[in-house]
Amino acid sequence: MISNIFFVRKRKLTIMIILLNFLFPIFSIEGLIPWGIAIGCAAISYKNIKNGKKIITKSFTYLLANGLIILSYNIIINSIIKYIAKLGL
C-alpha cells in the first residue's frame, strides 16, 4: 500500500514536470520549432512513466534539455534578426 502511494506521488510530480515543458515555448520567440521540441520532450517523459525506472530524474533531464535547446534557439534567432535589421532589409 505504501509503495502504491509513493508511485502515485512520483507520477503526479512527473506530470507536473511534463506540464512545465510547455512553459518554455510560451515565453519563447513565436514559432513552431519550440512547440515541437516541447511536445517531443513531453512525449518522451510520458513514456518514462510507463517504464517505471528513474521516472523523475529522466523527466527532469528532458525538462532541462528542453530549456537549453529552446534557449539556444532563441539566442540564434535573435542574433539573426539583429543582423538582418542591421543590414536594413
Q: What is the pLDDT of residues 6-49, one digit of tens each?
A: 566 777 888 888 888 888 888 887 788 899 999 998 888 888 87
Contact between residue 11 and residue 49 where contact means Cβ atoms under 8 Å apart? yes
How many CB atoms sit inside 10 A of residue 39's CB? 14
Q: So what's the pLDDT on residue 75?
A: 93
Domain ranges of the chain: 2-87
Average pLDDT on 46-64 reads 82
Average pLDDT on 57-82 reads 91
Q: So what's the pLDDT on residue 48?
A: 80
Q: So what's the pLDDT on residue 12?
A: 81
